[in-house]
C-alpha cells in the first residue's frame, strides 16, 4: 500500500468542529413520529418479519428496528437521538451535544448559529441549547 498524506476529514451537516468542544446535532426519531413527518418511512422485512423505519431525506442515515424503538420509548429514557448525517428539514427536531467540556478560548463557541435551526422557515423548531440552562 503506497504511503501518502492522510485524508483530511470533512465535517457533515450535523457537526461543528470549529472549536475544541466538537458539537453534534442529534435528531430525535420520536419527534419525527410525533409530528407525523411525511419523510419518515416504515417497512417490514419479508424474510424475518422485522420492522424498520428511516428517513427518506437521510437526515439520519440509519434504519431503526421499529420494535426495539417502541420498546425503548415505553421505557424510562426513551430511544434518544441519532447523529444527524444529512441536511435537516425545517421541521426536524434536534438537540446539540458537546463531546468535550473545557474552559478558555479554545472551547468557546464560535458558531452560535449551529445551535439554531438551519432555516428561517415558520415551521422551523429551534434546538435545545444547554448553555441557556447553565447560566
pLDDT tens per residue, the chain (135 residues)?
A: 556 566 555 567 788 888 898 999 999 999 999 999 999 999 999 999 999 999 999 999 899 999 999 999 998 888 989 999 988 888 888 889 998 888 888 888 888 877 776 555 454 555 555 555 544
Residue owning grid cell 440552562? 133
Q: For the stretch 99-118, what's the b/e string if a residue is b when 16 or more beta carbons lie within 10 angstroms of its beta carbon?
A: eeeeeeeeeebeeeebbebb
Contact 115, 127 (CB under 8 A): yes
Distance CA 23, CA 37 (A): 25
Residue 16's DSSP bridge partners are: 23
Domain boundaries, the chain: 15-134
Amino acid at each position: 500500500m503506497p504511503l501518502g498524506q492522510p485524508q483530511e476529514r470533512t465535517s457533515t451537516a450535523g457537526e461543528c468542529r470549529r472549536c475544541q468542544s466538537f458539537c453534534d446535532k442529534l435528531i430525535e426519531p420520536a419527534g419525527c413520529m410525533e409530528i407525523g413527518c411525511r419523510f419518515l418511512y416504515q417497512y417490514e422485512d419479508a424474510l424475518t418479519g422485522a420492522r424498520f423505519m428511516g428517513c427518506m431525506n437521510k437526515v439520519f442515515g440509519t434504519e431503526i428496528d421499529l420494535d426495539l424503538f417502541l420498546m425503548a420509548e415505553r421505557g424510562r429514557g426513551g430511544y434518544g437521538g441519532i447523529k444527524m448525517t444529512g441536511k435537516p428539514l425545517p421541521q426536524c427536531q434536534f438537540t446539540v451535544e458537546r463531546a468535550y467540556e473545557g474552559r478558555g478560548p479554545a472551547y468557546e463557541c464560535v458558531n452560535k448559529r449551529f445551535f439554531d435551526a438551519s432555516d428561517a422557515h415558520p415551521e422551523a423548531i429551534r434546538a435545545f441549547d444547554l448553555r441557556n440552562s447553565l447560566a
